[in-house]
Amino acid sequence: MTVGAPGQARRIEGGPIAAEIRSAVAEDVATFTTTHGRAPGLAVVIIGRDAPSTVYLEQILRGCAKVGIEARFAEIDGEATEASVTTRIRELNEDDTVDGVIVQMPLPPTIRLRAVIDAIDPAKDIDGIHPLNAGLLRLGYDGFLPATAHAAVEILRRSGVEIEGRDAVVIGRSAVVGMPAAFLLVKEDATVTVCHSRTTDLPDKVRRADIVVVAAGKPGLITGAMLKPGAVVVDVGINLVDGKLVGDVDFESASQVASAITPVPGGVGPLTNALLLTHLIRAAERQAATATDTRAGVR
Ligand code: NAD
């Protein structure tokens, strides 16, 4: 599908795509478990169980259990300081039953993000936050991708949206969502403009785009009036408004102009979690291969 006809936009549902991915992961996990005599393992470093993100992390754990991945919370012993968190991460780096490590975000203000991401073994960094993986993506090599950015582009690919040669606008320049999504779109041969909070005349930039990826965390930022007729819209935003989950795009007006659009909830979100599982199985397979090479004396 290229840029399609405007009108009532096609809803791009993430759920069915995520289900497809999860069933492929379940097969890979079963093969890995038979071959290596243990299930692939994920550790989620938890800094406070009462943080709002705990609900999301519990969802990841449940998703892992369904496909046979051994996933658990790794608590911090005592007070959560930079030293205690990085020590816990290093213990997990050394643990052969742990193939992937993710850390609960956001961190408390007393703990530097840089210290935490530097501590993660890049081979276990399944959410692509370590500088090595960020660098690999920047250079166009295969590393671990941040799962949300991966989902924003994978949802386009798996829905048959043509990316090559299209003009894309990414709104948001964060290290975990906006920038990696932009690099991935460039890798897919789109021509990409990155917009952010200091961008002047955002509507003008958005109106030129065939593909609009919105990751700003601002409900209602993008409306139908700003879109090129027939554009494809990926809404990454997650906002709670009056107790309701909404994205960054005004779905009602945008669906009148776009040719396809991802809803919130039910679009990028389900795909993010499913793709994280594919990253984990890849990490497990790579580490198992490295361990075999080491035993066989391959240097
Ligand atoms: P962030 O706050 O780190 O970055 C927001 C970006 O948006 C910044 O680069 C900022 O410059 C830009 N921005 C803010 N206001 C803007 C404006 N008025 N015009 C243009 N640009 C503007 O947030 P993040 O971590 O990148 O997350 C972005 C959104 O994605 C949030 O809503 C977050 O909840 C959501 N998110 C979704 C998932 C998922 O699985 N769907 C996962 C992670 C984050």
Report pLDDT digits (tens) over 46-99. Answer: 998 877 788 889 999 999 999 999 999 999 978 899 999 999 999 999 999 999
The closest residue, in CA terms, to atom 19 on ligand 1 is 197
Q: What mean pLDDT comes out for the span 106-116?
A: 95
Identify the band that residue 255 occupies on the pLDDT scale cut at 50, 70 and 90. Answer: very high
Q: Indicate if ligand 1 lies below 6 Å from the C-beta of 238.
A: yes
User: How much distance in Å is there from the Cα of 221 to the middle of ligand 1?
Assistant: 11
The closest residue, in CA terms, to atom 34 on ligand 1 is 238
Q: How many CA atoms lie within 13 A of 184 on its CB side?
A: 27
Identify the band that residue 262 occupies on the pLDDT scale cut at 50, 70 and 90. Answer: very high
pLDDT of residue 297: 76
| Strands 41-46 vs 191-195: parallel, antiparallel or unpaired | unpaired
225 vs 211: CA distance, rounded Å: 15
- Contact, 230 vs 3, CB < 8 A? yes
List the 41-46 sheet strands across, edge first: 70-75, 41-46, 100-103
pLDDT of residue 292: 77
pLDDT of residue 8: 84
Q: Indicate if ligand 1 lies below 6 Å from the C-beta of 263.
A: no
User: How much distance in Å is there from the Cα of 227 to the middle of ligand 1?
Assistant: 19
Q: Indicate if ligand 1 lies below 6 Å from the C-beta of 40.
A: no
Q: Which of ligand 1's atoms lies nearest the C-alpha of 171? A: 21
Q: Which of 228, 153, 240, 146 is nearest to 190 (CA)?
A: 153
Q: Indicate if ligand 1 lies below 6 Å from the C-beta of 216.
A: yes
Q: What mean pLDDT comes out for the span 199-217?
A: 98
Q: How many CA atoms lie within 13 A of 112 on its CB side?
A: 5
Question: Is the per-residue pLDDT at 144 higher than 80?
Answer: yes
Q: Indicate if ligand 1 lies below 6 Å from the C-beta of 175.
A: no
Q: Which of ligand 1's atoms lies nearest the C-alpha of 272? A: 40
pLDDT of residue 261: 98
Structure tokens at 20: 């497809």
User: How much distance in Å is there from the Cα of 138 to the middle of ligand 1?
Assistant: 20
Q: What angle do CA 73, 46, 78 make, to 5 degrees?
A: 105
Task: Give the chain's mean pLDDT.
Answer: 95
- Contact, 9 vs 258, CB < 8 A? yes
> What's the chain's Rg over C-alpha atoms?
20
Q: What mean pLDDT comes out for the span 117-122?
A: 98
The closest residue, in CA terms, to atom 30 on ligand 1 is 237
Q: Which of ligand 1's atoms lies nearest the C-alpha of 239? A: 32
pLDDT of residue 77: 78
Q: Indicate if ligand 1 lies below 6 Å from the C-beta of 158.
A: no
